[in-house]
Structure 1
Amino acid sequence: MFTFFNLNLQIMRIKTLFTFILLSSIFINYKSLAQESDSLKPHYDSINWRVKMNTGFLFNQASFNSRWTGGGVNSLGLGTFFYYKANYKKDRRTWDTNIELQYGFTDTEGIGFRKANDRLFIDTKYGYSFNDKWSVYGALNILTQFAKGFEFSEDPNTGEETAVLISKFMAPGYITTSFGIEYDPTDYFFVRLSPFAPRWTIVTDDELYLTAGTNYGVPIGETVRTEWVSAQLMAEFNKEVFENVNLQWRYTAYWNMEQPLNETDQRLDITIAANVNDWLSTSLGANLLYDKDQIDGLQIAQAFNLGVSYKFQNYRKKDK
């Protein structure tokens, strides 16, 4: 039966496809212009400020008519991302800033709208190096999400689906400062070790625990939890391991010294991205998180994406 939902979904698909084609054309033109000017950019080692940006749109869609015997559900998915890095280096002083923004959703027939990806991460660090590999640093990072998050389940009495609010912007939100030493042997790998890393966990909605079942470690009735006696370890790898194939992973461990060592918060983010051509890219990513203040168990998220992207940097690549 052709329903009003089907009509809206078809219209949305047409609009989305048109938008996708339009954005693809714009990105192709931008990419061509950027390539033409690459030879005019300064060399990596000749400037103090090095800026690199990658942004784009992700798209996936599936549709089936009533005669399709293989089964399937009509669905539409859209997403966007913005990655930005700025690195300053002069003499022994460095300043590095990393911004990662992601948001995506799916609309599936019979299920409806679902958030698929949501992340806001900002990290900035000032360092002073002793030599080519070791430095002391102070850093600040912020981690949260843009939109509300829901847990969906079926009401056992009515059979209807219910949506329960479990998170939102800055609920939870994490603000972490860290001071320590950094081992940075190459431009694609580093390790930070901080014996002093105060963290503030923020839950701006003091009634969120009523639906979420947790207040993310913040005492009930309060909106902020401060952890002063804490240590942090962070390691990151980001390199083109094959031609047009980039591997990036980031591991973070955070230990509140007032708690047992086996309750250390741990997070691992892994992404493999490949450029099909100058503007079309695909990526496979996974996130593993253990945080007992959220849930007693390992959280895993995985996503495969195909989309158009635009990359920019203000320097020529380093010589191989």
Structure 2
Amino acid sequence: MRKHLLLLFTMTGCVTLGMAQDKTIQNLQTEGSRAIKKDAADTTKKTWKKGGLFSLNLSQAALSNWSAGGDNFSMAITAYTNMFAFYKKGKHSWDNTLDINFGYVNTTSLGARKNDDRVDYLSKYGYELNEKLNLAGLFNFRTQMLRGYTYDGTERTFASTFLAPAYVTLSLGLDYHPVKNLSIFVSPVSSRWVIVKDDSLSARGMYGVDTGRHSKNEMGAYATINYTAKINDNVSYKGRMDLFSNYKHNPQNVDLYMTNLFAVKISRVLSATWSLDLIYDDDTKLFGPDKNSAGLQLKSVVGAGLLVKF
């Protein structure tokens, strides 16, 4: 009888232990597959926000025995890259953006030439005075990558290359944010360096730098306005306008640098883009009948192709 009772207790214990183990395993499986959710009480914000976008547009045409005429071959490539890194912690902020544009055209009649080339880095540190106003310091560097030429028919004239010209701006001022995605930075005293590193361009006294010299410093008032907008689900806009008045020479002639980019989303990775750039620099005298006058420079590029955000 005792043997039978002992056997019964042993079997009951094994079954109970097995059921407990099954329950433990089930709990472990449930915990392991459970989605992790942020605690509602945790209001920690990211210190850094990073990202960007890349756009590539390509067009090509070929003609053979085409009675209407035209270039036998033409190809155009335009590429645009924007990268950003924004830091925010307490009253301190640090915004960094890098824009790189490049365009290339090759035709039978005109040959190969670039139609867009820009490297633009902007860094701005801010200390919050109130919700809409920062005390800020700004650094801006702008140049191009490859050799550029101006064209008069089939004649071409060397006009630019890397660091010729280049513009470096240092400013201390106030940064105002009246609404989301709009920044208005104003500095009454800024320092700007115009660099012409190439010897042949320096010898011609290009871009306001004295003949034979490679740089020039300017002191003046500076303002930059940056704005981004999502017009609707498929259309976005990014724009910037810089204004600079040189206290040392013709302060009434304000230099203008403005970029505009519209992007229309066609699908997840396809889009159409339109960029419109305007520049007026009183020291860039390449225009007019005698090629010795300043003028408003305008560049418009329309394309369709790949657009990737990262």
Q: TM-score range by the shorter chain?
A: 0.7 to 0.9
| Partner residue, 1:280 | 270
> Which is bigger in relative contact order (C-alpha 8 A, separation at least 6)?
1
1:76 aligns with 2:75: yes
2:113 is paired with a residue whose SS is: strand
| Partner residue, 1:206 | 199
CA 1:182 to 1:45, structure 2 compared with 1: closer, same or farther past 3 Å? farther
Q: 1:193 aligns with which of 180, 183, 186?
A: 186
| Partner residue, 2:176 | 183
Cα shift at 1:45: 8.0
TM-score scaled by structure 1?
0.77
Deviation track 1:160-212 (CA, whole Å, cap 9, x = no partner) reads x33221110010000001110010133311100011210110000132156xx
1:222 is paired with a residue whose SS is: coil
Query: Which has the higher mean CA deviation after the structures are superposed, 49-58 or 69-78?
Result: 69-78
Root-mean-square deviation (Å) = 2.1
Deviation track 1:30-85 (CA, whole Å, cap 9, x = no partner) reads xxxxxxxxxx99xx98312111210132201222221x333332310123221001
Q: Any stretches of 5+ residues in structure 2 without a counterpart?
A: 1-36, 286-293
Q: Distance in 2 between matches of 1:261 and 1:198?
A: 14
Deviation track 1:210-234 (CA, whole Å, cap 9, x = no partner) reads 6xx651011111101011x311011
Deviation track 1:3-29 (CA, whole Å, cap 9, x = no partner) reads xxxxxxxxxxxxxxxxxxxxxxxxxxx
How many pairs does the alignment contain?
262
Residue 163 of structure 1 aligns to which amino acid in structure 2? R
| Matching of residues 58-207 of structure 1 within 5 Å | 58-66=57-65, 68-73=66-71, 74-154=73-153, 161-207=154-200
2:175 is paired with a residue whose SS is: strand
Residue 115 of structure 1 aligns to which amino acid in structure 2? K
Q: Distance in 2 between matches of 1:129 and 1:60?
A: 47
Residue 226 of structure 1 aligns to which amino acid in structure 2? N
Higher Cα Rg, which structure: 2
Residue 68 of structure 2 aligns to which amino acid in structure 1? G
Residue 62 of structure 2 aligns to which amino acid in structure 1? S
Q: Any stretches of 5+ residues in structure 1 without a counterpart?
A: 1-39, 155-160, 313-320
**Identity fraction in percent:** 29
Q: Answer yes or no: is the 8 Å Cα contact 2:205–2:211 preserved in 1.
A: no
| Partner residue, 1:23 | none
Q: Answer yes or no: is the 8 Å Cα contact 2:269–2:308 preserved in 1.
A: yes
Q: Answer yes or no: is the 8 Å Cα contact 2:164–2:198 preserved in 1.
A: yes
